Structure 1
Amino acid sequence: MQGTILILDGVSTNRIMLKVQLSAAWYHVVQANGLAGLGTLLRRTRPDLIVTAMTLPDGTALDLRAALQRDETLARIPVIAITPQNDRGARLCALEAGIDEVLAHPLDDMLLQARIRSLIRSHSAADDLQIQAGGHRVAGMAEPAAEFASLTLPVALDRPADVALVTALPATGAIWRARLKGVVGHNLRSYQMGNVQALMDQPVPDAVVVELSPDGSGAGLRFLADIRARSATRHSAIIAVPNPGNSHLAAEALDRGAHDVLQRGFCADELALRLAAQLARKARSDHMRNTLRDGMRAAVRDPMTGLFNRRYALPKLADMAHEAAGTGRNLAVMLVDLDHFKKVNDRYGHPAGDAVLVETARRLRVALRPQDLIARIGGEEFLIALPDTGPTDARATADRLCRQINATPFTVPGFSQPLWITTSIGVVVATPTSGMTGGANENQFSTTLISQADQALYEAKDAGRNQFTLIRPAA
C-alpha cells in the first residue's frame, strides 16, 4: 500500500467512486460521512491524507481543518477539498483556512492522483525530518540531544521572502510582478526561462514561480526539474503556473517535483495564498534541518574550543591510518598537553583556564594544514594527526607548535598581566600496512598510535617540559 487516505463525504456514491479510484492506485481507503467521532477515527487510522467534500452533513472542510489544527499530532495532515463546481471565492477561502488543495467536480483523475502523490510525499518528508531532528540519537550520542527535546517550529520566515518569477517572456514576468506587488510583501525578481545562472546568484530565492506554456517545448517542466536537482535551490519552494490553465501540465509539474500548482492559471490572490503556505512549509523544514545539523555538529565538536572531540577523532584517526596503509605513506600522531595547566585554574580560576584553552586551540589550528586533524580529547590535551608526514616534517611541526604556545603570552580577561604558557608534545610516526589496519585491526592500531604518542609525551614531560619528544615508529 502507498498510504492511507480518509474520504469524508455525506454522499455515499461520491465516497464509493473515490474509493474505487484510490484503491486502484493501491491506497488503503478509510471512509466517514461527517465530522462526528472524527478524532477517534483519525487516531486509530493515522491517515496520510484526507479527501473531503467542501460541505459535510455536520460541518465544512474549513471546520475539519480547524479541528485538525487544534491537535498538534494531526495538524500537518494534508487536506484536499472537493467542491461541486469551480467557485473562485470558495477556493480562496479554503486556501486561506489552510486547506492544501481545492478541486472541483468533475474530478480530473490524473490531477487528483498527482496531487495526492505530491502531498503525501511532502508530508512524509516533513515527518521524517522532524523525527530526525526531534528524536533520533545523533552520531553515536548516548542520549538524544537536549536541544531536540522540545522542538518549536516557526509558522513563517522571519523576513520578507525572496521570490523568483520565471516566465517564457519578460513581458509576462513584468505583468505577474505588478499584480503580485499589491497583495504580497515579498521581494519579487523576474527571470526569463532558461536563465538558471542568474537565478543561482545570491540571494538564492526562497520560492520560485515557474510558468508552464502548453506549446509542446516543455521548457518550463525542464527548468522546474533542473532547479529541483541543483543543491542551491533544492530547498526552495517551487510553484508551477500553467499559462493558460491546464490540468495535465499541472499534474506533470507535481510529478516533476513542484510543491504546488495553480492549475487554472495565474491568479495573484491565489498565488499569494499558496506562496504563504509553501513559505511556511519551507520555514519549518529549514528550522528542522538547522536543528539536525546543529545537533550533529554538537555531537562531534568540543563546545568550548570548536575543535573536534574524542568521539569524532578516534574513528577519524582509524580512517587516516587505513588511507595511509593504502598509499604506503607516513602518518604522524601527536599528543599536545599544556604544562602546569592545573595551576592556571587554581590561581586564576576556571574562566581564565577556559580562555587559555580557547586561545591554545586557535594557535594550534592556524599552525596546521587543512588536511590535518586536530581534536581536544581531554581537559588540556589535544590530539593531532598529520597525513603524509615523515619524521623530519613531524619534528619541524612539533617544534613550530611549541613555539606557537610559548613565544607569546596569553591575555586573560580580568587580569592585567599576561600568562606565559608552555606545552609538551609527544610524537610518533608510523607507516601503516594493510595488515595493521584491515578490519578489526584499525581501532587497535589507532589505540597503539595514541599509546605510543602518550609515552612520548611523558618522556617530554620528564625531560623538563616545554619541548617535544619523537619516539621510534610504531611497529
Structure 2
Amino acid sequence: MSAQGTILVLDGTATNRIMLKVQLTAAWYHVVQGERLQGLAGLLRRSKPDLVLTSQTLPDGTAADVKKLVMANPDLIDVPVVAVAPQNDKAARLKALSDGLDDVLAYPFKDTFLLARVRSLLRTRAETQELQVSSPSDPIGFAEPTAAQIMPAEAARVAILTQSPNTGALWRNALSQQTQYKLSAHTPSNLHGFLLGPVPDAILFEVSACPSGLNLLADLKSRGITRHTVLIGVLEDDNAELASEALDRGADAICLTGFCPEETLLRLENQIARKTRRDQMRASLRRGVVESWVDPLTGLHNRRYAMRAMDQIAYQSAQAGQGLAVMLADLDHFKAINDTFGHSAGDCVLAEAATRMAKVVGSAGFIARVGGEEFMIGLSNTTQTKALELARHLCECIREKSFDLPDTLEPISVTVSIGLITTHPNESSHPPEPVQLEGLIKSADSALYAAKSGGRDQVQQSAA
C-alpha cells in the first residue's frame, strides 16, 4: 500500500478508470479499480480503501448504492465516497449529496482540483483513523458503547463569514428559512469579537482571490478553538485554482458556482454529522485516558499514575536541587472491617479515607490508591520536617473522626499507618544525580512495615 493512501475507482467505462488512475498514481496514490456493484463488497474487504471515487451510474447500480455498501462495512464507515458526474448538473449534484455522498466532482476537472479534493478528504480520514483504537470497527473509548450525540444537528452553530454585511445577511436569511441551525453573520473586521463568542460547529465563508482571505482560512484551521470547526467555502465561479488553494488551506468542502441554499445545507449536514462523530470519539478518548489514570472507587489517581508522577517529581527535584518525599499509607486492620461489616462497608471506608487524606495533601503533592487499602503520597520541593508534619496530619484526619457505615448503627474507628522517606539535594553532584525511585519506594515500604510492627496508627521514617 502506498504511503499516500489507497483509492478505489469505480466506473463502467474503462477509459474513465484509466484516466483517473493516471492522475492519481502520478501523485503516488495506490489505485484499485472496479467497474460494477456486483462483487464490490469483497473488493472493499480486500482493498480497504481510504477513499472511493465512483461514477454516478454503474452498469448495475448507482453511487448511492456504493455508499450504502461502504457504510455496511464497520471497518470502512468513515471512508469518504465521492461521486464523479459526467457534467456539472446541479440537480444531479443535489441528489447525490442528499443520498449521503461526501462530494460530487463533475467532468471535466483539472488535476489540481481533483488532487486538492483528494488530499482534503484523506486528511479528514486520517484524523478519524488517529482516533481509532486497535479494533477499527469499534468507536474510540476502550470498547465502550457508542455515545449519544453530543449536539443534535438542529442545535448546531453555523457562522457565516463574508466580505460585506449585505452578503452575509442574504445568506443568513436564505438559510434560516430551511434550517434550525443557530446562524450568525460576520465580516473579517469583527472577527476578533466573533472568536470570543461560542465556538461555531461550522463556518460558511466567502472565498475570494484576496490573499488575506486565504490566510484567514489557514488561520482559522490552525487556531486551537476553531481547529475542529467545519469550514465550507463558497466561490462565485468555478475557479479550480482558487478552489484548490482553499482546500489546501484547510477548507473541508467547496461550493462552486455561487451560493446555493440547498447545496449549502446538504454540505453542512454532511460535514457536521462527521464532525459530531469525531467529537464523540475525542470525548470518549479523553474519558478513556482519564479513567486509565483514576481509581474508580475513591476517585484518586491509581498506581499507574502514581509511578509516572513520582518519576516526574524525582526528575524535577534533582534538576532543581530540591528535596522530595514518598509516603506509603495503609489502613489498619482493614481486612477485619471487610470480614465484620462486609465489602460494601469496606468500600465506604476506603472512599471516605481517600477524601480525607486528599484534603490534607491538597496542592502540596499527589495521593493515589496503589493497592487494596494502600495509598501513595508524593511531595515535591519539601523537607523532612514538612513531610513528617503532613504525614502526622494524615494519621490525625483518619483517627479523629469515626466512619459511618451503611446499615450500621454505630460508626467505627479507623486508623492508618504511614512509612515515610525523604531525600535531600546533593549540591556537590554536577550534573544532579537522578533519584532511584524503586529504592525510595522500597524504603517507604520498609518504614510502613516498621509502623505496623510498632503498634500502627503512627508514622515511621526511613533513612535516605
TM-score by length of 1: 0.88
How is 1:141-180 mapped onto 2 (pairs within 5 angstroms)?
148-149=142-143, 152=146, 157-158=151-152, 160-180=155-175
Give the SS at the match of 2:133.
Answer: helix
CA–CA distance in 2 between the matches of 1:102 and 1:335? 63
Partners of 2:44 and 2:70 within 8 A in 1: no
Residue 381 of structure 1 pairs with residue 363 of structure 2? no
Which of residues 186, 197, 204 in structure 1 aligns to 2:199? Answer: 204
Could you list the per-position Cα deviations for residues 346-392 of structure 1 after superposition, in whole angstroms to 9, with x for gaps in the alignment?
33322222122112212222222435121111111110011111111
How do 1:244-283 and structure 2 match up within 5 A?
246-283=239-276
> Deviations for 1:36-66, whole angstroms, at most 9, x for unmatched residues?
3222333333322222222222222222222
User: Aligned with 2:83: secondary structure?
Assistant: strand
Structure 2 counterpart of 1:447: 438
Q: In structure 1, what residue type is equivalent to 2:164?
A: L
- Distance change (3 Å), C-alpha of 1:59 and 1:399: same
Identity of aligned residues (%): 46
Distance of aligned partners of 1:379 and 1:126 in 2 relative to their CA distance in 1, 3 Å threshold = same
Q: Which moved more, 1:30-39 or 1:90-99?
A: 30-39
Q: State the Cα distance separating 1:436 from its structure 2 match.
A: 12
Q: What's the offset of the Cα at 1:132?
A: 5.3
**In the alignment, is residue 365 of structure 1 matched against residue 367 of structure 2?**
no
- Is 1:288 aligned to residue 288 of structure 2? no
Please report how far the alpha carbon of residue 272 of structure 1 lies from its aligned counterpart in structure 2 after TM superposition. 1.2
- Quote the residue 1:100 is aligned against: 102
Secondary structure in structure 1 of the residue aligned to 2:272:
helix
What secondary structure sits across from 1:329 in the alignment? coil
Distance 1:265 1:156 in 2: 32
Question: Which of residues 109, 125, 128 is equivalent to 1:126?
Answer: 128
Counterpart CA distance in 2 for 1:88 and 1:70 is 28
**2:75–2:136 contact (8 Å) kept in structure 1:** no
CA distance in 1, matches of 2:265, 2:425: 62
Cα distance change, pair 4–175 in 1 and its aligned pair in 2 (3 A): same
Where structure 1 has 5 or more consecutive residues not aligned to the other structure, the ranges are 137-144
Aligned ranges 1:26-425 → 2 under 5 Å: 26-131=28-133, 148-149=142-143, 152=146, 157-158=151-152, 160-193=155-188, 195-201=190-196, 203-214=198-209, 216=210, 218-243=211-236, 246-370=239-363, 372-425=365-418
- TM-score, normalized by length of structure 2? 0.90
User: 1:135–1:148: 8 Å Cα contact kept in structure 2?
Assistant: no
Q: Distance in 2 between matches of 1:247 and 1:285?
A: 29
Tell me the secondary structure at the aligned position of residue 367 of structure 1. Answer: helix
**In 1, Cα distance between the equivalents of 2:87 and 2:316?**
66
Q: 1:295 to 1:67 in 2, by over 3 A?
A: same
Per-residue Cα deviation, 1:294-336 (whole angstroms, up to 9, x for no partner): 2222222211112111122123313322222222211111111
Rounded to whole Å, the distance in 2 between the matches of 1:270 and 1:263 is 10
Counterpart secondary structure, 1:39: helix
* Distance (whole Å) between structure 1 residues aligned to residue 392 and residue 231 of structure 2: 56
Q: 1:24 aligns with which of 23, 26, 33?
A: 26
**Shift of residue 156, structure 1, vs aligned partner:** 8.1
Distance 2:134 2:233 in 1: 30
| Superposed CA offset, 1:232-269 (max 9, x none) | 22222222223455432221121112222212332211
Q: CA RMSD in A?
A: 2.7
Check whether the contact 2:78–2:128 (CA below 8 A) recurs between aligned residues: no
Higher mean displacement: 194-203 or 312-321: 194-203
CA contact (8 A) 2:150 2:280 kept: no
Name the CA distance, whole Å, in 2 between partners of 1:409 and 1:292: 39
> SS at 1:239's partner residue?
strand
Deviation, 1:153, is 7.0
Aligned residue identity for 2:187:
Q
Unmatched 5+ stretches in structure 2: none
Q: What does residue 140 of structure 1 align with? A: none
